[in-house]
Amino acid sequence: MSTRIYDCLKAIGEKIIENKDFLTDLDREIGDADHGVNMARGFQAVIEKVDQDNPDIGAALKKTGMTLLSTVGGASGPLYGTAYMEAAKVFAGKTEVNGEDFGAALDAAIAGIQKRGKAEKGEKTMLDSLIPAKDAFSEKLAGGASLKEALDAACVAANEGIEFTKTIAATKGRASYLGDRSIGHQDPGATSLTMTLETIRDFL
């Protein structure tokens, strides 16, 4: 029997692989039509490489990050790779997830993405879903909500983040070459990020 963290990562991978064409089509509008292809290739490797029998969440996330770094390519490979590697540090040696650790992992992922990509909220990137998701998550949790309830709120905020990316021009990444012509299109990275959070919510 495989461990829960493996099953969760596999579920994320399957969601991304299922949506490969959709994510690639979004990237065709404002980028170079490879986001879904890149991410699906990366998560196929994650499903193959992460140890199914090791319940250590940190070890699984670290392997995921390293695998994404080496297989995804593009801008999103290093960014997602770093996000998982930073989240891994929070879960090192742990086999259970609680709200506090999950929030700390989201913070660590955001910090890692920002250190590498130098983007802020409002530049039409994955951060436009991730930062509001983290804020909603923390607010809910502080109000006494369960991990599941806080994740529900995070997913609502992440989806609102996708909608917000449609209204703004990209100022980071390949889509920024289009300037104002990127307005009206939703960001592929914000979309894959939201799918990731929704899969985790549904899994828990």
Ligand X SMILES: Nc1ncnc2c1ncn2[C@@H]1O[C@H](COP(=O)(O)OP(=O)(O)O)[C@@H](O)[C@H]1O
Please report, as ranges, the residues that interact with ligand X according to CB under 6 A.
27, 31-32, 34-35, 38, 74-76, 79, 113, 117-119, 125-127, 172-174, 187-190
**Distance (Å, rounded) from C-alpha 156 to C-alpha 62?**
27
- 173 makes contact, choosing from Mg ion, ligand X, none, with CB < 5 to 8 Å by partner type, with ligand X
- For the bound state, the minimum distance from the C-beta of residue 182 to Mg ion, rounded and expressed in Å, comes to 13
**Which among 2-10, 24-32, 39-47, 101-109 is the span making contact with Mg ion, rule CB under 5 A?**
24-32
| 15-24 long-range contacts, CB within 8 A, separation 24+ | 15/195, 15/196, 15/198, 15/199, 16/40, 16/43, 16/192, 16/195, 16/196, 17/43, 17/44, 19/192, 19/195, 22/191, 23/188, 23/191, 23/192, 24/188
**Distance (Å, rounded) from C-alpha 135 to C-alpha 1?**
35
- For the bound state, the minimum distance from the C-beta of residue 31 to Mg ion, rounded and expressed in Å, comes to 4
- For the bound state, the minimum distance from the C-beta of residue 32 to ligand X, rounded and expressed in Å, comes to 5
Residue with Cβ nearer Mg ion (55 or 73): 73
Residue with Cβ nearer ligand X (35 or 140): 35
